[in-house]
Structure 1
Amino acid sequence: MKNIIKYIKISACILMLTSCDAYLDKQPDDAMTMEMIFQKRASTQKYLVNVFSYMIDESHTAQNTPWLGASDEASITYIDRGYCYMNNGSWSPDNPPYVAFWRAYYQGIREANIFMQNVDKCPEINFEEKLRWKTEARFMRTYYYAMLMRMYGPVILVGDELIDISSTNLGKERSTWEECMDYICTEFDEVADILPEQQETTWYGKPTKGAALALKARMLLYSARKLYNSDDSFYKNIISTEGKHLFPQSYSEDKWKLAAEANKAVIDMGIYDLYKAYATNGSIDPYKSYAGIYLELWNNEVIFGRALSGKDWRLVTTPRGIGGSSFGGVSATQKMVDAYAMKSGRYPISGYTNEGKDPIIVENSYSEGKFQTITNPADGTSYANTNTMYKDREPRFYVSICWSGEKWKAGSTTIDVQFYNKGNSGPGDSHNYSKTGYLISKMTDHSLNHKNNEFGRFSWPICRLGEIYLNYAEALNEYDPGNEDILKYINLIRQRAGVPNLEEVYPEEVKDPDKMRQLIRRERQIELAFEGYRFFDTRTWRIAEETENGPVYGMNVMATDHTPTGKFWQRTVVETRVFSKKHYLFPIAQEELDRNKAITQNYLW
């Protein structure tokens, strides 16, 4: 038993897209027949691991996914990656990036169906274990559908059929969005009735009741947002080959109610809590608390997640100057840096002029371009001649952002990070550098010596309670504004983060649902930064034409120094992105359309 979960916890969940062949897809000389596989416990169990193995390792963000690289929270320096083509608008059905997601998830669905239809044949497994394993495979099937839907919208529902999605005569149309939502919500509800509330320690990483309910709650929130819930949807006229409207035709407030109830159901389980670490005086330490979500494996905030090797994430977020094999090319944008509140809890920048270059600074909140000695409150380190834009920010800023001139600690090694041209982590003669003059320190364990390639492991939360609180507050604000739970759960997030309650900082704004909506979105942007949420948030809110389109700013890393008089501190365009209405959903690859004549393409593709 311990061996199998070892695969699930470590190996099966960090595979690359092309690394897992189906268990049956072996050469004839070593193939096992179906009957042989499901006669033995060990081979049956191995097949279940195969069902899990189609999960994408989303922590390998510089390679596997576009969730950071094509989001306004980050800019990645590496070229010829899928997010590069998404950002410059050159992708199309003929050359769609991340097309392997479609194939991998449908292969996972097929493997889950094969397992569910055959596990009962195994004479070496008792009824209870068969039911549990079958339910886990059913959960994974539903999970794969949810992952497809967030990318493509409505998808092909195959039920229990053993469909090969690459068949040249498949002839299956996409189901409507509402049919897809009804299906996955029913499936998640039914598996939640069977799955345990908590797995034993040996089985951490396998699905639970909370994981099923949390994923259902997230998808209901997405479905309630404007992309799928609007009277002015540009998807209205997409008619399937079966004569159905693939997308919802009108706004429904009830969707927000369903989303609120679903997220509250996860909270009401009462078995999860925000991760907190405490100072010697008994107060919450906001720095260790926020960092600990990712550094404390399997902590009680994680509803569904993975304990992963830190290598892929930390290689690309550690400054090159630390030595070893660090690349340091996944950087926070200036807009993301600007988003963090001050320690007072107020947001210092209310907008931009000059095509997003010049910030509109809230009076008496923040200064930029002045230089003085400041102290990083996360570790007490002082920095001379430091830009005052990094002074007096909230704790999550100091946990998450590395700026030029900051000290980067890696075990016994410490460097002064230099993101300017020819600096130890700047462009110079290397393509491994930060385009924006920032790196992401969130999820980094600074006790490990990255110079010696010590990357350790970290907790990657697929679902965590902090998200559920934010989901619940957002949904409530849309259908029951003024409900006291809105501030209650937003404030629980802020209290853990060491900033004042929202009503103390914005006493009038919290009374206005429209202004409260923006405050909730900002809190979500900060709390869930760099975890892969922002990409889908801006799209389902239907604001990506503003947030993902046009110039992306950072510091001027091509300047040769960052002394107080240096040009490094000028806000500079690091890339210019293209986003139009068709980009809200991924295109279905032309080769899939060629194989399956019944399927309808997404809007404008």
Structure 2
Amino acid sequence: MKTRLKYICLSAVAGLTFSFSSCSDFMDLTPEDQYDEATVWADADLTKSVVTDVYSYVCDIAQEVNPEAWTDDGFFTHVYGCRDINEATVSPSNLAAYDRDDCPFRWSKQFKAIYRANLVLENIDNVPQKTGVDLNVLKGETYFLRAYIYTELLRGFGGVPIVDHVYSIEEASEMELPRSNVADVMDFILKDIEQAVSLLPEQQTGANLGRATRGAAKALKARLLLHIASPLFADRSVNTLACNQYTGDRQALYQKALDAAKEVINDGNYSLIDCNAGTIKDIAEKFHNIIITNNDETIWSKQYVNKDKDADNWVRNRVALLHGPNGYHNWAGTAPTHDLVMAFETEDGKIPNTLLKAGEETTVNPYTNREPRFYATIGYDGAEWGRPRASDGAVFDATPLGNLQFGYYELSSGGAEVNAIQSVDDENNAIKKQQFNGMVGVDSRMSNIENWNGTYTGYLEKKLIDGTVSATEHNFQICPMPYIRLAEMYLIAAEACIELNKLDEAAIYLDALRGRIGRPDTRATLAVRGQAFNQNNLREFLRHERRVELTYEHSRYYDVRRWMIAPETSSKKLTGITIVGRLKPGKTATLPYVHDEDVYNYTWTVLNLNYIEKRKWDNKMYFAPIKLEETLRNPALEQNPGFK
């Protein structure tokens, strides 16, 4: 007789979409929080708790390390294991940040989720009906979650083993399950999505807000199909492992991706939000609210409740604490690179062509006359943060809304000397020091407030943060975090159209996205940039739009790989910015500090951060390594190329 687990770990949070207590390993024989299996499957409420617990394995966007930190868009201030990824030194025995819970495709965590989903699917048909619990919907949610988690695994590793049922302890101990081809994994996911669509409701409301819907399942289908249609899976030069190669008709996949995206776009449950207003600032604020609120553009998002400091981190939206400014006692987290900052277009639709290389400087404010998404996404020196700064010994007192202060400011001609401004001006990491009389920004790494939490790059991520909330280890914002937005469906439709050479149709989807934030249309913007309206230029245009529209939404890491542009993007020098403000003749600094070009002469200098992280690309990094323990446990698992 084969033995199965007889106890199930459940979280005790009722009515919350995501709860985060779980067994450490599904093979544990004596889990701490035990419910007899027979009891669980005899009670619809307990069954719902198991499904709710599966949600907890979906990677939380509101965490300290965002995958943007593994791309040209971000740098993780505290390094942790991110340097190993960016310097291509990870290995099966050193997964570094790939082995963190905020990695969306962490192998051990995601296969535990799959186990639990399989457990539900094998038992839910025998659970007695109960008023107030729709078992068919729960079943649909479970199919969706298994599909979502398998999609993350596929995007991270390529082909992975398909585990579609619960194994006994004896079976698991003897199991040698090989990796399936990406096409087979894709088909498996699509079948789960089909099941989910047939069972899920159009909307979830009230206490169920944030649980899966039919639209979320359809949107996941579009995302998956576009991913596998991409160049990486057709490549045979660097993608040399058979299970990671797609041999089918890629044009057919692009068409299917287009059809799936259009189905969501035409769904009456969602619509793009018109952000147009009288000023760029107002447009930016409306766009920012799309990200941090539940609205008509949200297809699937994570919901939170505000928990005290002793609550589990995974039920709290900690992103403001984790990514905010040290001058507010926050931790700087995954900070934007200067490269990302200069990717946002100017107000007239051009891409900045100055202040791009380390050592280059300007006295013209690079943050003026930029597009709305820039102001909604980037926290830069002088930017309004959204709430007053506490009076706690900061170098500068509070302004009405609070202004970020990353630079070095001259307060008088006889100001006290401070530490040297440091920059790196060559490949040998020689430190260029400049003595400066004045005061340092309260949000800088030379601040008197928790300078170890200051940003190296001179920027902070603003997009996911509700700046009006005083984020501390005792208080957290409760705004939702988006997993799938309607904007992504427009971008998927546009990309598929471009690859199908339906350029006019592609422009329609791009123009809809750009028009809702007051941007010039695609043709006009290409003309301003001196580019013809053709497939190659439109492809690059689309890729740029994805970068700035979906920043910090777990997109860039996968995009640069599937497009096979990572050798370029991931070999760029890591750069930041240094800002120096010197008093103009006859002017006097006043407090509270506000960025004021009538009072100061400013100089912005691109800072080479190569001494912190020497980024380089290695083709092995197209797919993540599988942990050594997994390949030792299961010899049938073939390691991804380039890893030993």
**TM-score normalised per structure 1:** 0.83
CA deviations over 1:196-251 (Å, ceiling 9, x no partner): 11123331111111111111110111111111134x44224x25xxxxx5422587
Partner of 1:113: 118
Q: Check conservation: 1:334, 1:555, Cα contact below 8 A.
A: yes
Aligned positions of 1:125-524 closer than 5 A: 125=130, 129-162=134-167, 167-230=172-235, 232-236=236-240, 238-239=241-242, 246-249=244-247, 252-277=250-275, 279=277, 285-296=282-293, 298-308=294-304, 311-322=317-328, 325-349=329-353, 357=358, 369-371=362-364, 388-411=365-388, 414=399, 415-420=402-407, 422-428=440-446, 430-450=451-471, 454-482=475-503, 484-507=504-527, 509=531, 511-524=533-546
Structure 1: distance between partners of 2:539 and 2:32: 61
Q: Check conservation: 2:41, 2:124, Cα contact below 8 A.
A: yes
Give 3-state SS (helix, strand or coil) of 2:573's partner. strand
Q: CA 1:510 to 1:168, structure 2 compared with 1: closer, same or farther past 3 Å?
A: farther
Q: CA 1:510 to 1:219, structure 2 compared with 1: closer, same or farther past 3 Å?
A: farther
Partner of 2:55: 52
Structure 2: distance between partners of 1:336 and 1:404: 15
Q: Check conservation: 1:328, 1:425, Cα contact below 8 A.
A: no
Structure 2: distance between partners of 1:28 and 1:452: 30
Q: Does 1:123 align with 2:119?
A: no
Aligned residue-pair number: 554
Q: CA 1:497 to 1:185, structure 2 compared with 1: closer, same or farther past 3 Å?
A: same
Structure 1: distance between partners of 2:606 and 2:623: 35
Structure 2: distance between partners of 1:275 and 1:137: 30
Q: Check conservation: 1:274, 1:465, Cα contact below 8 A.
A: yes
1:328 deviates by 2.2
Q: In structure 2, what residue type is equivalent to 1:532? A: H
Q: Check conservation: 1:227, 1:539, Cα contact below 8 A.
A: yes
1:398 deviates by 1.4
Give 3-state SS (helix, strand or coil) of 1:261's partner. helix
Give 3-state SS (helix, strand or coil) of 2:614's partner. strand
5+ long unaligned stretches in structure 2: 1-10, 101-105, 307-315, 390-397, 408-420, 422-439, 585-599
Structure 2: distance between partners of 1:128 and 1:319: 43
Q: CA 1:166 to 1:411, structure 2 compared with 1: closer, same or farther past 3 Å?
A: farther
Structure 2: distance between partners of 1:152 and 1:187: 20
Q: In structure 2, what residue type is equivalent to 1:393? A: R
Q: CA 1:93 to 1:595, structure 2 compared with 1: closer, same or farther past 3 Å?
A: same
Q: CA 1:29 to 1:274, structure 2 compared with 1: closer, same or farther past 3 Å?
A: closer
Structure 1: distance between partners of 2:381 and 2:556: 24
Give 3-state SS (helix, strand or coil) of 2:303's partner. strand
Q: Does 1:581 align with 2:612?
A: no
Structure 1: distance between partners of 2:95 and 2:170: 17
Structure 2: distance between partners of 1:547 and 1:19: 37
Structure 1: distance between partners of 2:44 and 2:248: 51
Q: Check conservation: 1:169, 1:595, Cα contact below 8 A.
A: no
Deviates more, 1:178-187 or 1:304-313: 304-313
Partner of 1:555: 577
CA deviations over 1:156-200 (Å, ceiling 9, x no partner): 001224377994432110000111111111221221122111123
Give 3-state SS (helix, strand or coil) of 2:199's partner. coil
Q: Check conservation: 1:333, 1:552, Cα contact below 8 A.
A: yes
Partner of 1:93: 92
Deviates more, 1:392-401 or 1:160-169: 160-169
Give 3-state SS (helix, strand or coil) of 1:576's partner. coil
1:459 deviates by 2.2
Structure 2: distance between partners of 1:168 and 1:344: 62
1:108 deviates by 1.0
Q: Does 1:536 align with 2:558?
A: yes
Q: CA 1:486 to 1:7, structure 2 compared with 1: closer, same or farther past 3 Å?
A: farther
CA deviations over 1:339-394 (Å, ceiling 9, x no partner): 11111122223996xxx5478xxxxxxxx6124xxxxxxxxxxxxxxxx2111111
Q: In structure 1, what residue type is equivalent to 2:141? A: E
Give 3-state SS (helix, strand or coil) of 1:434's partner. coil
Q: CA 1:250 to 1:114, structure 2 compared with 1: closer, same or farther past 3 Å?
A: closer
Structure 2: distance between partners of 1:45 and 1:78: 38
Partner of 1:74: 74
Q: CA 1:289 to 1:158, structure 2 compared with 1: closer, same or farther past 3 Å?
A: same
CA deviations over 1:254-275 (Å, ceiling 9, x no partner): 2222221221121122321123
Q: Check conservation: 1:474, 1:520, Cα contact below 8 A.
A: yes
Q: In structure 1, what residue type is equivalent to 2:545? A: E
Deviates more, 1:473-482 or 1:440-449: 440-449
Q: Check conservation: 2:470, 2:476, Cα contact below 8 A.
A: yes
**TM-score normalised per structure 2:** 0.79
5+ long unaligned stretches in structure 1: 240-244, 360-367, 372-387
Partner of 2:413: none
Structure 2: distance between partners of 1:127 and 1:432: 47
Q: In structure 1, what residue type is equivalent to 2:60? A: D
Structure 1: distance between partners of 2:555 and 2:583: 32
CA deviations over 1:294-328 (Å, ceiling 9, x no partner): 232x2111111112367521113321113xx3122
Q: In structure 1, what residue type is equivalent to 2:283? A: P
Q: Check conservation: 1:339, 1:349, Cα contact below 8 A.
A: no
Q: Check conservation: 1:196, 1:209, Cα contact below 8 A.
A: yes
Q: In structure 1, what residue type is equivalent to 2:468? A: S
Q: CA 1:336 to 1:172, structure 2 compared with 1: closer, same or farther past 3 Å?
A: same
Structure 1: distance between partners of 2:542 and 2:454: 33
Q: Check conservation: 1:473, 1:489, Cα contact below 8 A.
A: yes
Q: Check conservation: 2:140, 2:198, Cα contact below 8 A.
A: no
Q: In structure 2, what residue type is equivalent to 1:599? A: L
1:6 deviates by 6.8
1:277 deviates by 5.0
Q: Check conservation: 1:276, 1:284, Cα contact below 8 A.
A: no
Structure 1: distance between partners of 2:547 and 2:572: 19
Q: Check conservation: 2:17, 2:211, Cα contact below 8 A.
A: no
Structure 2: distance between partners of 1:24 and 1:598: 20
Structure 2: distance between partners of 1:180 and 1:93: 23
Q: CA 1:491 to 1:510, structure 2 compared with 1: closer, same or farther past 3 Å?
A: farther
Q: Check conservation: 1:54, 1:105, Cα contact below 8 A.
A: yes
Partner of 1:572: 608
Q: CA 1:451 to 1:55, structure 2 compared with 1: closer, same or farther past 3 Å?
A: closer
Structure 2: distance between partners of 1:260 and 1:505: 24
CA deviations over 1:82-121 (Å, ceiling 9, x no partner): 2222122221001113336211111111111111222233
Q: CA 1:452 to 1:590, structure 2 compared with 1: closer, same or farther past 3 Å?
A: closer
